[in-house]
Structure 1
Amino acid sequence: MKLEVLHVCNHVLCVNKPPGLPVVPDSSEDDSLFDLAKAWIKREYQKPGDVFLGVVHRLDRPVSGVVCFARTSKGAARLGASFREKTAQKSYMAITSGPKPSGLADAGVVEHWLLKDPSRNMVKVVPEGTPGAKLARSEYRFTDGRNRVELSPVTGRSHQLRVALASLGTPILGDLKYGADRPLPDKSIALHARRLVVPHPTRDEVVDVTAPLPSNGVW
């Protein structure tokens, strides 16, 4: 599989993840984005021995879009801090499995307390104060009045955008786990990490990358 590189410098590598590819190796033993990126660096820069690559954030396997890796330990520490401290800005696009319900505002904020069930790899909305629950806040805007949505996660909780749209009565196309009525042929979901803006780890500038939409016919 060819790696689509969006940005590369001494400390940072940003790539466009295709849907269906895990970011890091998992129990499936399928190829991962991490392995592909390491192989690309080794080949592109003719690096002998093992290649350092730091994972600073992830996308769910069926999701596509921008993934940022660190090429140095310093980059990994500072990029990781940017994601934890919310100075990294992320925006997504989604297609919902049905039209926007009548009465739902074209734009707004979804706020929930979410509890993860690791055994099922799912999260659910629970009352505030539930042990282990974390607050999730997401901004949304329907761009065509029907089923295209721009999303910005204010917090960084697992599956929060997927749950946010499901809670509005508009689950993401193909997202069977959170209420879609049918799968997509390639088992992806129509959620794409469109843009990432993150402070550069060593320069007084930002890394600003936009990932082209997948070419699987959904978009």
Structure 2
Amino acid sequence: MAGDAGDSPFRFGEAIPAGTVLERPTPAWFTPDVPVEPPIPFAHVVLEITGRYVVVDKPHFLPATTNGRIVRETVQTRLRVELDNPDIVPLHRLDRLTAGALLCSADPETRAAYQSLFQRREVTKTYLARVVGEPLVGEEWTTIDLPMRKISGERVVQVAVGGVPTRTRIRRTGDRLVELQPVTGHTHQLRALLAHLGCPIVGDDTYPVDTGLDLADFSTPLGLVATRLQLVDPVDGRFRGWRSTHLP
């Protein structure tokens, strides 16, 4: 069932009150055809594992979860097989091309508690990006608000009036290095932001120019890493933080 797999917020057998308005199309059953997939030659590293969650250091090029084209070669599927746990589900988005710390739920009973942290924006996600050109920001944190719009059928996210509001904290940390903390979670938010500022990320195949999608091209890693993930555990109230070993 889609709920058991983490693809739907509703559990099997749960009654949905009449008149409930869904935020987006919500599947009830999800059984995709699984095509033949060549192996992705990069391995994740488990940073911590408990009965409630698994944290991994995701490599570049390995999707966190299925994107319709890749099913087997994902962090989710690999962990489910490796740990013999079909309930493992990534709790937040991390692009295929982005490396770094990824938190996954391993327990359906506590999953909603962790999901709510992300919904309430109570998780601090810190990224490090190596960029082309000198970023026009200083060493102190600056908050940038931009409207972004994802056009159906296109990979590129546009910075455009009338788009969804996004907020990002950013500062320079070195020569063509910037640290970022997204407050909102829009698709390609950091990549679109840096391209808009005139300093796109090294190795970006979409911003500022979409060069086309080649899932078998592992030659140029994206210079973006989710370096830290920090939160207060909703189950036991303890502060938890994880750090990636990857560098952009």
* TM bucket normalised to smaller: 0.7 to 0.9
Q: What is the TM-score with the length of structure 2 in the denominator?
A: 0.74
Residue equivalent to 2:131 = 96
Is the 1:92–1:194 contact (alpha carbons within 8 Å) kept by the matching residues of 2?
A: yes
Runs of 4+ with >3 A deviation: 104-107, 180-185
Residue equivalent to 2:164 = 134
Residue equivalent to 1:80 = 115
Classify the secondary structure of the residue corresponding to 2:190.
Answer: helix
Is the 1:174–1:182 contact (alpha carbons within 8 Å) kept by the matching residues of 2?
A: no
Classify the secondary structure of the residue corresponding to 2:181.
Answer: strand
Q: Deviations 1:136-176 (Å, cap 9, x if unpaired)?
A: 111111111x3011100111111111111112111000113
Q: Deviations 1:66-100 (Å, cap 9, x if unpaired)?
A: 11100111332011110110011100000002233
Residue equivalent to 1:212 = 245
Alignment root-mean-square deviation, CA: 2.3
Residue equivalent to 2:224 = 191
Residue equivalent to 1:19 = 60
Residue equivalent to 1:115 = 149
Is the 1:95–1:173 contact (alpha carbons within 8 Å) kept by the matching residues of 2?
A: yes
Residue equivalent to 1:47 = none
Residues 1:206 and 1:112: Cα distance change in structure 2 (over 3 Å): same
CA distance in 2, matches of 1:185, 1:51: 29
5+ long unaligned stretches in structure 2: 1-41
Aligned-pair distance for 1:106? 4.2
Residue equivalent to 1:45 = none
Aligned-pair distance for 1:198? 2.1
Classify the secondary structure of the residue corresponding to 1:34.
Answer: helix
Residues 1:41 and 1:11: Cα distance change in structure 2 (over 3 Å): same
Classify the secondary structure of the residue corresponding to 1:137.
Answer: strand
5+ long unaligned stretches in structure 1: 43-49
Is the 1:97–1:180 contact (alpha carbons within 8 Å) kept by the matching residues of 2?
A: no
**% identity of equivalent residues:** 25
Asked whether 1:8 is paired with 2:49, we answer: yes
* Larger RCO: 1 or 2 (CA < 8 Å, sep 6+): 1
Residues 1:138 and 1:199: Cα distance change in structure 2 (over 3 Å): same
